[in-house]
Amino acid sequence: MTDTKREAPASLEKRAAALEIVLRRKADMPKNFVAEFTEHADDAWITANGAQMVARAWTDPEYRARMLVDGTAAARELGFEFPEHHRNLVVLENTPTVHNVIVCTLCSCTAYTIIGAAPDWYKDLDYRARVVRESRTVLREMGLDLPATTEIRVWDTTADTRYMVLPMQPPATTGWPVQKLATIVTQDSMIGVTRLEQVKG
Amino acid sequence: MDGLHDLGGKQGFGRVKYPSAPHNENWRPLVRALHAFAIESHIYNMDEFRHAIERMTPRHYISAPYFERHLTAIATLLIEKGIATREELESLVDGEFPLSGPLGPGRLPFAPQSFAIGETVRVKNEFVSGHVRVPAYVRGKTGTIVHVSTPTPFPDAAGHNMQAEMEPTYDVRFRASDLWPDTSDEALNHVAVFQSYLEKVEGA
């Protein structure tokens, strides 16, 4: 592993395939595990889950209140699941003067069963290093120019607690049915790098 | 450990590559599934996995894509758990298979303390060579508890496969201007901090 002796490592495809062979041969991984897991993850752990929670909160004040007290219970109420190590979901409420944004500086943790798999930019070293210290600047670079009066709250996912942002409902969508509202809620708005107020009816 | 993974507040980085470009790399979902199998089968736990990523050499960590870090941690742990050997992996790929550095000792949690929402607390100014989930940017800093979680495994023990009592974590609110005086954007920074990492503030 010393720099002078370093050869080019085998390709990532080869290395991943080798691990699959080892797990099948020596840890009894079923042949169809990878396909079945991938299908389940891609079908069940999607942004639409969090979007449904947000749309429900916009239309049901009692659900909203429950969600802000116990996000985990509010997610389970709509039938969503968590892996064993996601023991707490905390929902962070945006207001006209408060903006929440999520990061994981130490790795790239997210509530992936609720908001979907983290996008590549969230795992980017630049995002992890900078958004805690230069929140307003980073958000502006990403297209969200917050007024100077808006208080920014940054949440670093350093333990087993997971976070999601409850964005504000766009005024133009007042009165929409809950299923239609869910279609406008994006993953980025639940991470907190966009707001939805500009969405048109 | 004071590794390169502890990125919060590090300077010199550039614009976030946003939005992300689409990809079509099949090895990525494969690695995700292999890791899920290893966790499900209790080959290793999440803290051991995170620590194996942290133990990658700094040069490798900083240059590796996200799922290569996962792949390296899985390979390292399969060897450490006696499921594979390095020679076996190298033979399967017919070349070099870079791994993480060696595992050192972990540590047990401290005696339970109790903290309340609204209480002012300080993050201990500790330097831990094993797995630890305190980002360096809050070491020794004072903040206010805003939320208490249900108990979870103490990472400094779990990351080294040691049995330990679970303990609560606290979402602690800091001011960016206290963390990086004069060199940060104004914000309230929240970090989820395990009970053992916190201490009472006299007179608070």
CA distance A159 to B157: 14
Q: Do B89 and A153 touch (CB under 8 A)?
A: no
Mapping DSSP to helix (H, G, I), strand (E, B) and coil, where does residue A179 land?
A: helix
Residue A4 confidence class, pLDDT cut points 50, 70, 90: very low
- Taking only the tens place, the pLDDT of each residue in B154-200 is 999 999 999 988 999 999 999 999 999 999 999 999 999 999 999 99
B134 CB neighbours in chain A (<8 A) are 158
Residue A179 confidence class, pLDDT cut points 50, 70, 90: very high
Give residue B169's identity as a one-letter amino acid code. Answer: T
Q: Is the pLDDT of residue A198 over 90?
A: no
B190 → closest Cβ in A125, A142, A155: A155
pLDDT at res. B204: 67
B186 CB neighbours in chain A (<8 A) are 136, 152
Mapping DSSP to helix (H, G, I), strand (E, B) and coil, where does residue B23 land?
A: coil
pLDDT at res. B50: 98
User: CA angle A56-A169-A157, nearest 5°?
Assistant: 75
Name the residue among B132, B127, B121 with its Cα closest to residue B154: B132
CA distance B107 to B130: 8
Mapping DSSP to helix (H, G, I), strand (E, B) and coil, where does residue B148 land?
A: strand
Q: Is the pLDDT of residue A5 over 60?
A: no
Which run of H or of E encompasses B199? strand B198-200
Calculate the dihedral angle through the C-alpha atoms of B135, B137, B143, B148, rounding to the nearest 10 degrees.
-20
pLDDT at res. A84: 87
CA distance A94 to A190: 10
pLDDT at res. A6: 55
Superfamily classification of domain B1-102: Nitrile hydratase, beta subunit (1.10.472.20)
Q: Do A106 and B133 touch (CB under 8 A)?
A: yes
B190: CB partners within 8 A, 6+ apart: A153, A154, A155, A156, B146, B171, B172, B173, B174
- Taking only the tens place, the pLDDT of each residue in A8-20 is 899 999 999 999 9
| Structure tokens, A61 | 């004040």
% of chain A surpassing 90 pLDDT = 92
How many other CB atoms are found less than 10 A from the CB of residue B110?
A: 16
- Could you give phi then psi for residue B191, rounded to 5 degrees? -130, 135
Instruction: Give me chain A's average pLDDT, please.
Output: 95
| Structure tokens, B14 | 């550039």
Displacement of CA A28 from its chain's centroid (Å): 32
CA distances from A137 to A131, A145, A146, B16, B184 (A): 8, 8, 10, 11, 10
Using a CB–CB cutoff of 8 Å, tell me whether A27 touches chain B: yes
* Over residues A96-113, mean pLDDT: 97
How many other CB atoms are found less than 10 A from the CB of residue A180?
A: 11
Closest Cα in chain A, distance from residue B204 (Å)? 23
pLDDT at res. A2: 47
Q: Is the pLDDT of residue A3 over 70?
A: no
The residue behind tokens 């691990």 is: A19
- Taking only the tens place, the pLDDT of each residue in B90-147 is 999 999 999 999 999 999 999 999 999 999 999 999 999 999 999 999 999 999 999 9
Q: Do B6 and A123 touch (CB under 8 A)?
A: no
Average the pLDDT over each of A88-92, B64-68, B142-146, B164-168 and give the range with the smallest value.
Answer: B164-168
Calculate the dihedral angle through the C-alpha atoms of A133, A160, B80, B163, rounding to the nearest 10 degrees.
130
A9 → closest Cβ in B36, B95, B186: B95
Instruction: Give me chain B's average pLDDT, please.
Output: 97
Does ipTM surpass 0.95 in this model? yes
Interhelix angle A47-59/A61-69, nearest 10 degrees: 120
Q: Do A159 and B30 touch (CB under 8 A)?
A: no
Pairing of strands B120-123, B142-148: antiparallel
CATH architecture of B120-200: Roll (2.30)
Calculate the dihedral angle through the C-alpha atoms of A22, A25, A27, A33, rounding to the nearest 10 degrees.
90
Give residue B36's identity as a one-letter amino acid code. Answer: A
Q: Is the pLDDT of residue A1 over 90?
A: no
Mapping DSSP to helix (H, G, I), strand (E, B) and coil, where does residue B67 land?
A: helix
Using a CB–CB cutoff of 8 Å, tell me whether A153 touches chain B: yes
Domain boundaries, chain B: 1-102, 120-200
pLDDT at res. A125: 97
The answer to whether B99 and B80 have CB atoms below 8 angstroms apart is no
Burial of A110 by CB count in 10 Å (0-12 exposed, 13-18 middle, 19+ buried)?
Answer: buried
Comparing A191 with B203, the larger pLDDT belongs to A191
Q: Is the pLDDT of residue A108 over 90?
A: yes
Catalytic residue numbers of A?
104, 107-109
| Structure tokens, B70 | 């996962």
